[in-house]
Amino acid sequence: MHIDPAKVDAIIQRHGRKREHLIAMLLECQEEFTHLPEPVLQRVSEQVEVPLPSVLGIATFFRAFSLKPVGRYPAHICMGTACHVKGAPRLLEAFERELKILRGQTTDDLLFSINTVNCLGCCGLAPAVTVGKDVHGKLKQADVPRILKKYRPKEA
Amino acid sequence: MAYRAHCLICTGTGCVAGGSFNLRKTLEAEIAKRGLDREIQVITTGCQGFCAEGPIMIVQPDGVFYCRVEERDVPAIVEEHLLKGRPVKKLLYTPPTEKAPIPALKDIPFFAKQKLIVLRNRGLIDPDRIEDYIAVDGYTALGKALTQMTPEGIVLEIKRSGLRGRGGGGFPAGIKWETCRHAGQVRGVAPVVICNADEGDPGAFMDRSIIESDPHSVVEGMIIAARGIGASEGFVYIRHEYPLARQRLQLALDHAREFGLLGKNILGAGMDFDIEIREGAGAFVCGESTALMASLEGKLGEPRAKYIHTVEHGYQDRPSNLNNVETYANVPLIILRGADWFASMGTGDVKENPWNGSSGTKVFSLVGKINNTGLIEVPMGISLREIIFDIGGGIPKGRKFKAVQTGGPSGGCLPEEKLDMAVDFDSLTEAGSMMGSGGMIVMDEQTCMVDVARYFIAFLTEESCGKCTPCREGLKTMLDVLTRIGDGKGRMEDLGLLEEMGAVMQDCCLCALGTSAPNPVLSTLQYFRHEYEAHIRDKKCPGGVCKELITYGIDPAKCDGCHACVRACSTAAIMGEVKKVHTLDVHKCIKCGACIEVCRRDAITRT
Ligand SMILES: Cc1cc2nc3c(=O)[nH]c(=O)nc-3n(C[C@H](O)[C@H](O)[C@H](O)COP(=O)(O)O)c2cc1C
Ligand code: FES
Ligand code: FES
């Protein structure tokens, strides 16, 4: 994938190149490039003057970051306690079965990926899942195909 | 201009997921179309606490409460209610245990027993408008603190109120402020105030809701704290999974700056203070004070040993006062109404010594296997039974209560015998759980306590930073043992091993993540030992959760042959003709439970 260094620089500039803003910069970079490829980490390291291993440390310490490409519509299955007792582990398996990938993987067409999160903060809607930016709550396994269909390109 | 009525649409995260922003647009368009736009105003508010019934809309001044409102309901609401004054019956709330709907918010049991201090403005004001907050006495406490009180007086007032930290440990806020103020003076270094909005407890959303529905209450609390402590800089550390909360908080800070409530020379009283938002990126351990401050500095969020206190040497080695969102949100009302008023609510006599009891209220996120899920605020000292059965409406589908989990991954599970216990910091700890930040997860007879213990230990194993050995290795071993028990391969000696390891971790881990990590295991061993024994000795999972120990089947007496399970089964393990009793082939069954979710007659068995 092509990385435009100017885009990375703009993000770094916005945060005044401050080390304290490393997490925020990386989050924005990830938003821009869907994941954190090595050239981005390299650029951040040079510009913010933090050694690459430290940048890599942050990028692997926090759950929100991904070093691998993720799908256009990442599915985040909530594994928080409220969702757990309402069947989240089985819901995760339903997504895995339907998309034929495992958690942490991306479909070949780069449309979906599956990951887990620890509470989306809408526990009243448990079990909850986000696909792209949308929250889907009170899900049953049987709902999964219908939900994913919304994001699939319409058949020609 | 005075409006005849207001439609308050909830735009908390739960209701937004249900489409409340579109609902607002449609409603406004319909109101305009019917020429009512000079009479009726549509307002968006923060979370009402009843997210499970969302999207929620309240019509004032009638106080009528609508739930599960969809865009297509809009014409009926406008025609029937707003024009003809007749509430739309099908959108009113009916408790699961009742037949008749309850039109008015104040009569709904879920709301009736709550006491709103922190959430006083929820659903009443538009969180994006500082004018709304000011109209309900917002920033009056700040005015009082700046003009009528000395910084020492502010700290003393908080101390005498007995306010204890709402983020987990329950440390008295006044004592922390006093120590921090003192450290700043002795060292001649300006302290910082930090707000912990990392909300790492999985299954809790108190802080998110407070920020989304009333961000200024937190900002005001922080400014007052800064005045008391002598700080000129503040931070809010918020998790990035909460975009809406962050956006509302940012707007609140911008407005506060415009109004001269942040920045230089606040309210002309010679105080300089500003607040910056910093994002966390999803690490549970970053909620711990030393890890949080490392993360604020742009370093790895690893905790350090606590013999150097962060109140003296914290962020950038400056004296740092860290409090939780809810702790700060309590501050303005304490200043406004006085310590005595606050101390009069709750348990114990806290005026001389804040450790003597628990004053005020606590916000809980009441979730899990309970009829009314949502966010509640109750006085300290209320019983678990009142929370679960009166406010929460009991357990769905007439099932039996088994346990309630409080305190998040550091807390424990309490059984039925403890339901009449008063909820406060010290009694929860004594019972082997803890207050924590306010997650309250209710479990019914179909929950497996071994699975719950394993769930928390798996969570903590992933989230442990790995720096200290007892935590890293202890958790891993515990997880292996619990997994083994869940798979039916456990041994009776395993139970003693778990207890022994738990004791070592409580003594030896570096930070509170590790020292409290055994709690979910120890508390379930204490109260639900028989379930562990059933897994080990009888190779049975009483809750019907652990896959290795259960077999699915169909109860012919209950099955009416509706075919729903046949459609839901992805491996074609269930067969049968419509209207005839179905059968299940255990060799094809992958025990995914999709059939149970769709069966209306409870006919799927797990034995
Ligand atoms: C592993 C761990 C995670 C924590 N997570 C949070 C959290 O998400 N939010 C929070 O307010 N406090 C959390 N705490 C507690 C904080 O360390 C700290 O005690 C608290 O923020 C202080 O504020 P308070 O006194 O107002 O409660 C956590 C503690 C530990 C050990
Ligand atoms: S536990 Fe899933 S949203 Fe909170
Ligand atoms: S988000 Fe609407 S009630 Fe909670």
Maximum alpha-carbon separation in chain A? 50
Say yes or no to pLDDT of A1 above 80.
no
Ligand closest to the CA atom of residue A123: 2
For residues B462 and A104, what is the distance between their CA atoms, to the nearest angstrom? 14
Say yes or no to pLDDT of B509 above 60.
yes
On whether the CB atoms of residues B455 and A88 are closer than 8 A, the answer is no
Contact partners, residue B134, CB within 8 Å, separation at least 6: none
Say yes or no to pLDDT of B594 above 80.
yes
On whether the CB atoms of residues B144 and B336 are closer than 8 A, the answer is yes
For residues A137 and A124, what is the distance between their CA atoms, to the nearest angstrom? 9
Query: Hey, which residues 4-63 in chain A have their CB within 8 Å of chain B?
Result: 18-24, 26-27, 50, 54, 57-58, 61-63
Domains of chain B, by residue range, sit at 5-111, 130-353, 360-444, 449-538, 551-606
CA of A114: how far to CAs of A28, A71, A111, A149, B466, in Å?
21, 8, 11, 15, 25
Beta-strand runs (E) in B287-327: 320-324
The second-level CATH assignment, the architecture, of B551-606 is 2-Layer Sandwich (3.30)
Q: How far, in whole angstroms, is CA B140 from its chain's centroid?
A: 28
Give the three-state DSSP class for B360. Answer: coil
What's the pLDDT at A31? 87
Say yes or no to pLDDT of A156 above 60.
no
Nearest to B119 by CA among B208, B225, B3, B241: B208
| DSSP 8-state secondary structure symbol assigned to residue A86 | T
CATH of B449-538, one of 3.40.190.10, 3.40.50.300, 3.90.870.10, 1.20.1440.230: 1.20.1440.230
The per-residue pLDDT for range B544-581, each reduced to its tens digit, is 999 999 999 999 999 999 999 999 999 999 999 999 99
CA of B37: how far to CAs of B2, B40, B299, in Å?
12, 5, 53
Nearest CB to A65: which of B13, B241, B281? B281
Shortest distance, CA A111 to any CA of chain B (angstroms): 21
Mean pLDDT to the nearest integer, A24-51: 92
Judged by a CB distance cut-off of 8 A, whether residue B242 touches chain A is: yes
Q: Do residue A23 and residue B202 have CB atoms under 8 angstroms apart?
A: no
Q: Is A129 touching ligand 2 by the criterion CB < 6 Å? A: no
The per-residue pLDDT for range B355-386, each reduced to its tens digit, is 999 999 999 999 999 999 899 999 999 999 99
The per-residue pLDDT for range B15-74, each reduced to its tens digit, is 998 899 999 999 999 999 999 999 999 999 998 999 889 899 999 988 999 999 999 999
Mutation for testing the A interface, residue in B367, B372, B513, B604 having most A CBs under 10 Å: B367
Locate the chain A residue with the closest alpha carbon to B280.
A23
Domains of chain A, by residue range, sit at 5-61, 73-151
For residues B413 and B486, what is the distance between their CA atoms, to the nearest angstrom? 18
Nearest to B161 by CA among B149, B172, B150: B172
Mean pLDDT to the nearest integer, B141-170: 96
Q: Do residue A64 and residue B201 have CB atoms under 8 angstroms apart?
A: no
Rounded distance from Cα B20 to ligand 2 centre (Å):
20
A 10 A CB-CB count for B135 gives 11
B215-B216-B218 Cα angle (round to 5): 75
* Helices and strands (DSSP H and E) totals, chain A: 7, 4
Does B461 or B99 have the greater pLDDT score?
B461
The second-level CATH assignment, the architecture, of A73-151 is 3-Layer(aba) Sandwich (3.40)
Mean pLDDT to the nearest integer, A104-117: 93
What's the pLDDT at B307? 67
The per-residue pLDDT for range B390-411, each reduced to its tens digit, is 999 999 988 999 999 999 998 9
Say yes or no to pLDDT of B535 above 80.
yes
The per-residue pLDDT for range B218-242, each reduced to its tens digit, is 999 999 999 999 999 999 999 888 8
Q: Do residue A64 and residue B240 have CB atoms under 8 angstroms apart?
A: yes
Q: Is B466 touching ligand 2 by the criterion CB < 6 Å? A: no
What's the pLDDT at B176? 97
The percentage of residues in chain B with a pLDDT greater than 90, rounded to a whole number, is 85
Q: Show residues of chain B in contact with A16, CB under 8 Å.
A: none
Say yes or no to pLDDT of B514 above 70.
yes
3-state helix, strand, coil in chain A (%, to 5): 50, 10, 40
Rounded distance from Cα B421 to ligand 1 centre (Å):
24
Nearest CB to B439: which of A81, A93, A124? A81
On whether the CB atoms of residues B13 and A121 are closer than 8 A, the answer is yes
Nearest CB to A117: which of B241, B280, B592? B241
**Domain B360-444 listed as CATH 3.10.20.600:** yes
Mean pLDDT to the nearest integer, A7-25: 93
On whether the CB atoms of residues A79 and A92 are closer than 8 A, the answer is yes
CATH of B130-353, one of 3.40.630.10, 1.10.1740.10, 3.20.20.70, 3.40.50.11540: 3.40.50.11540
Say yes or no to pLDDT of B303 above 60.
yes
For B200-227, b/e burial (b = at least 16 CB within 10 A) is: bbbbbbbbbbbbbbbbbbbbbbbbbbbb
What's the pLDDT at B533? 97
Say yes or no to pLDDT of A155 above 70.
no
Nearest to B92 by CA among B71, B66, B62, B59: B66
On whether the CB atoms of residues B422 and B381 are closer than 8 A, the answer is yes
Nearest to B502 by CA among B527, B483, B531, B475: B475
Nearest to B496 by CA among B519, B522, B531: B522
The second-level CATH assignment, the architecture, of B5-111 is 3-Layer(aba) Sandwich (3.40)
Round the average pLDDT of chain B to a whole number and report it. 94
CA of A63: how far to CAs of A23, A66, B3, B227, B286, in Å?
12, 8, 48, 36, 12
Count of residues for chain B?
A: 607
Give the three-state DSSP class for B319. Answer: coil
Atom of ligand 1 lying closest to residue B285 CA? 1
The per-residue pLDDT for range B107-155, each reduced to its tens digit, is 998 998 899 999 999 988 999 999 999 999 999 999 999 999 999 999 9
On whether the CB atoms of residues B112 and B106 are closer than 8 A, the answer is yes
The per-residue pLDDT for range B410-469, each reduced to its tens digit, is 899 999 999 999 999 999 999 989 998 999 999 999 999 999 999 999 999 999 988 899
Mean pLDDT to the nearest integer, B209-219: 96
